[in-house]
Amino acid sequence: MSSNSSDPDADPDQTCPHVVLRKRADYIGIENTPIAIFLINASICLDCNLVLQVIEAVKPGWVKKNAYLGLVDYQRAKSEDDWFTIVPQFTLHLQQPEGTEDVDLGQHTTFHFLKRAATARYEAQFFDFHFDKSPEYTGKFLAQSLEVTHDSGSPAAFERARHWLSYCDEHDGACKPPNPDYKPRRLINVGSSDGTREPFLFEPVEPGRYACLSYCWGKDLDQVLTTTTHNLESHYQAIELNTLPLALQDAITVCRNLGIPNLWVDSLCIVQDDRIAWLHDASSMHDIYLNSYLTISVMEPNSCKMGILGKQRFGDPTWQQLLCTTRPDTAPPLDLLIRPGKFYPRSYRDRSSLDTRGWCLQESVLPNRRLCYDGNEMIWECLCRQLCECGHAVAPQVPRHTTLDYGKLGASIKTEILKTKVQSERQGYPEWHRSSLGSRLWLETHQAPYQRWRDLVSDYSHRSLTKKHDRLRAISGLAKMVGNHMRQGSEAAVEYLAGLWKKELPFDLSWEVEPPDEGAEIPESGTVNANEAAYYIPTWSWASVGRPVTYRFDLPLEIWKYEPVAVDQCIVERVHCQHELLEDPMSAVTDGSIVLTSAFAPVKLIHLEELPEKQKGQVSYEDEVRHYTFVQCSDGQKVSVTLDKPEVHNPDESYYCLRLFSWVSERNQRMGPETWFLILVPSTHKPGAFERRGVGLWDRLLAGTDSRSCPIFEGGETATVEIV
C-alpha cells in the first residue's frame, strides 16, 4: 500500500518521509518531521494519508490546529524473525523557538497501531504468509492483533476461548491428555449452568474430562472454604456456589461455558487437615495436571477471594481504538487498532503473581493446554502455540521474546509420552531460557534434560512458598517428568537427590546463590510446621537456602572455541536420602548425605566490604559487583567465592575447600583451566561430617597466571568426606 512522491522538481524540504523509509531498510525511524510535510504529500502518498487519519482519530483537530508547528517522531518496532513486519510508533509534539528547551515532554502524545485481525492465526507460517497481499505501511507489513474483548466473562470472550480450545482439540494430537485412562482421586462436578444443580465433590469410577485450576490462594484465608475431614461428606452432597471464594466461582463458570463437566482444585479435592492423605494426594499432582483436558491459570489477581472474570484493561476503549481507514485507491479499507504509548512487549522479568509462587511452576509446565487470565486479556498456551488477544503472541509477533513459554518447555520434556509429535508451527517461538541449547555444540543429547532441569531450578528458586518444607514437594511433579525423560534410551539408573541428580552430581553441586536485582522482592522462604521441625534439608541441596540460585559452570560450553572437557571430577562414593514418602523417591527429604572423594584443603575465609585494587585482576566485572568474599590459600593467594548465606558466616570457623571438577581444553592450552569447588565447615548436625557454606570458581585467565592448577589444591591431599 504505498505510492512514491518522487518528483525531481519537488522541494527537498517537502519530500515525503516515507520515500526514505521505503528505500532504506536500515532506518528505524525519523524524528521531527513537520506535520505540514504529511499534508503536502497526502494526495500522492498512501502512507502519509494513513498517518493523518490515525493522528486525527487520536487527537481530533490537532493536525489542523498545528499545521505549521506540529512535529511527528516516527519509530518502528520490528520482528526479530521477520524484517518485513513492524509496529509503527508515533510521538506528536510542537516545534519550539530556537534555543528553547522542550520542557513539556509530559504533554507529548505517543501511540502505536497494528492491523486488526478477524481471527487468531493458528498456523505460524513465518516465511510465506506475506505473499498473498500487499504491504500496508512503508513497504512493510503491520503486525496483527485481535480486538481484545471488553469483559472476560462475556459471551464473546467465552466464544473466543471455545474457539481456541476446539481448534487445539481438533488439530493438535500432541496436546491431548497422554493417559486417557487416568482419573484423579476426587473431582468437582461443576453442576448446571442454570443453577438447578450445585457443584459437588465425587470420586470418579471411570475416566472423564476435567479442568484444573492454577491460582494463588493469597495471604488472607479467613473464611475461605476448603475440604476437611469435618465437611468431606457434606461436600459429596453439594457445595453451594456462593460459599466458594470468587476465583473458584469464576473457574466453575468457565468450565460450564466451555462444556467441561469437572474441575480439580487443590483446596477442595485434597483433604486439608489430614496430613498423610495430603502428602499422598499432593504427590499425585504430576499426573493430575499432566492429564487435564485444560488448566485454567489465574495469573492475576493474587488472592482467591478476588474474581477472575470481568472487565479487561486491554479491552477498555481508551486502550484500544478501532479505526477503519479509507484509502484513495481501489484497495479495501484497512482496519487498525490504535493503542496509547510505545509498543512494549512482555518481558520474562515481568512476572505475574502466579509466576512468583513455588507450587505454580509445575502447574504451568505439566499441563498440555492452559487458558490464562491476568486482568488485561486472555492468553492461550498449549504445546503447539501461544496466542494472546492483544497481539504480543499472535503471529507475526513483534518481537517474539515475551512471556515465559512454559508450553514449549513442557513439549521438550514430554516427547516420549505425547500422543503425536508437536507440530512445527511452534518452532519460531521464544526459547525458554536455555532449553534449546542451540549454541551448546558440545552438549550431548542425553545431557539436555539435566540442563533443562537446572533452568527449572533457577526459575523455581525465585518463587515464594508459604511452608519451608514445601520447597522439594512443590517441584516433585516436575522431577518425575524430567526423570522419566532422562530414563528414555538410558540403561543407567536415574537417582534423584533432594533437587539434584546423582549422574551429574559434581555439576549439580555447583549452584550458587544469586544476589537479588535492585529493588526486587526476595521470595518468601516459608515457615516451619511444628510436626516438621525435625526435618533436615542437607546443605548441599539448593533447597536448603530458600534463595534464588543460578548455575554458571556450563558457560565454557557456550563460549569456548574448542570443546571443554571436565577433568579431576570428584568421585561420588555414597549417597543417601531419607524420603518423606518411602514409596516416592521424588518426595521431600527429611535427611540426607553424600560422600565424595576429591582434592581437599584448609583455607582462611576473608570477607571484604569492597575489593582492594590489587585483587581486581582476579575477577570479572560481574564478580566485582557480586563477590566480596575470598578464600586464602596456604601460600597467601586469594580466590573469589560466593557464600550461600553471607550474613551468617563466622570467620572463626574452620573452612575447607573440596574440588568438584575442572574445565580444560585438550586443543588449546590457553583456554582454562576453570576449577569449581565447594566451601565446607565441620558439621554441627552430624559429628565428623561437613556442611556446605558456599561455592567458588578459580579461572586461570582471570587470575592472570601461567599456572595450570588451582592454587587452593596445590600440594594438598585427597580426602573422602561426608557432607550433610
Q: Which residue has the higher pLDDT, 517 or 308?
A: 308
Contact 398, 79 (CB under 8 A): yes
Q: pLDDT at residue 623 above 70?
A: no
| Angle formed by the axes of helices 448-461 and 406-413, nearest 10° | 140
Q: Would you mind telling me the total number of residues written for the chain in this entry?
A: 724
- Phi/psi of residue 643, nearest 5 degrees: -85, 145
> Mean pLDDT lowest for which of 428-437, 597-606, 659-668?
428-437
pLDDT at 615 over 70: no
**In angstroms, rounded to a whole number, what is the distance separating the alpha carbons of residues 290 and 293?**
9
pLDDT band (50, 70, 90) for residue 465: very high
**How many Å apart are CA 643 and CA 678, to the nearest integer?**
10
| CB-CB contact of 126 with 395 (8 Å) | yes
Closest-CA residue to 375 (of 113, 162, 157, 221): 157
Cα(317)–Cα(320) distance, rounded to whole angstroms?
5
Expressed in percent and rounded to 5, the helix, strand and coil fractions of the chain are: 25, 25, 50
pLDDT of residue 376: 93
Reduced to 3 states (helix: H, G, I; strand: E, B; else coil), residue 338 is: strand
**Cβ neighbours of residue 527 under 8 Å, at least 6 residues apart?**
466, 467, 468
Q: Rounded to an integer, what distance in angstroms lies between the CA atom of residue 376 and that of residue 661?
A: 48
Q: Distance between CA 88 and CA 115 in Å, rounded?
A: 11
693 pLDDT more than 70: yes
Can you name the residues that pair with 137 across neighbouring β-strands? 140
pLDDT in tens, 575-606: 999 999 999 999 999 999 999 999 999 999 98
pLDDT of 144 higher than 80: yes
Question: What was the pLDDT predicted at 78?
Answer: 76
Quick one: average pLDDT of 423-452?
Answer: 53
pLDDT at 489: 64
Give the confidence band of 288 by pLDDT, cuts at 50, 70, 90.
very high
pLDDT in tens, 201-219: 999 999 999 999 999 999 9
The reported pLDDT for the residue numbered 136 is 86
Q: What is the pLDDT of residue 681?
A: 97
Q: Residue 426 — pLDDT band, cuts 50, 70, 90?
A: very low
* CA proximity to 422, closest of 435, 409, 431: 409
| Cell 566451601 sits on residue | 679
Lowest mean pLDDT among 228-237, 347-356, 410-419: 347-356
Q: What is the pLDDT of residue 195?
A: 80
Backbone angles phi and psi of 199, in degrees to 5: -60, 155
Residue 140 has pLDDT above 50, yes or no: yes
Identify the band that residue 180 occupies on the pLDDT scale cut at 50, 70 and 90. very high
pLDDT (0 to 100) of residue 414: 86
86-100, 149-163, 436-450, 709-723, range with greatest mean pLDDT: 149-163
Residue type, 525: S
For 507-556, what is each residue's pLDDT tens digit? 999 999 998 666 566 777 778 887 788 899 999 999 999 899 999 998 88
Answer whether residue 7 shows pLDDT above 60: no
Distance, CA of 390 to CA of 320 (rounded, Å): 9
Q: 590-616 b/e with 16+ CB inside 10 Å = b?
A: ebbbbebebbbbebebeeeeebeeebe
pLDDT number for residue 432? 36
pLDDT category, 317, cuts 50, 70, 90?
A: very high
Confidence of residue 622 (pLDDT cuts 50, 70, 90): very low
pLDDT of residue 662: 94
Quick one: pLDDT band at residue 349, thresholds 50, 70, 90? low
pLDDT of residue 100: 57
Say which range, 240-244, 429-433, 624-628, 630-634, has the weakest mean pLDDT: 429-433
Residue 122 pLDDT greater than 80, yes or no: no
Assign 401 a pLDDT band (cuts: 50, 70, 90).
Answer: very low
> What is the Cα–Cα distance from 421 to 19, expressed in whole angstroms?
46
Percent of the chain with pLDDT over 70: 85
Q: Is 419 a residue whose pLDDT tops 70?
A: yes
**pLDDT tens digits for range 237-247:** 999 999 999 99
Instruction: Check residue 227 and give its pLDDT.
Output: 98
Mean pLDDT of 225-238: 98
Average pLDDT over the chain reads: 86
One-letter amino acid identity for 79? Answer: S
- What is the rounded distance in angstroms from the CA atom of residue 594 to the CA atom of residue 531? 26
Cβ 375 vs Cβ 312: under 8 Å: yes
Residue 15: pLDDT band with limits 50, 70, 90: confident
Cell numbers that stand for 392 in this block: 504480543
Q: Is the pLDDT of residue 682 over 50?
A: yes
Q: Which helix (H) or strand (E) holds 378?
A: strand 378-382
C-alpha distances (whole Å) from 427 to each of 395, 437, 537, 583 are 12, 14, 39, 39
Q: Tell me what pLDDT residue 635 has.
A: 84
The mean pLDDT value for 177-197 works out to 94
Sketch the domain layout of the chain as residue ranges. 12-150+319-340, 155-313+345-430, 457-723
**What is the distance between the alpha carbons of residues 428 and 431, in angstroms, rounded to a whole number?**
9
pLDDT at 328 over 80: no
Would you call the peptide bond into 564 cis, given omega within 30 degrees of 0 as the criterion? no
Three-state DSSP at 691 gives strand
Q: Is residue 28 pLDDT above 80, yes or no?
A: yes
pLDDT over 90, % of the chain: 59
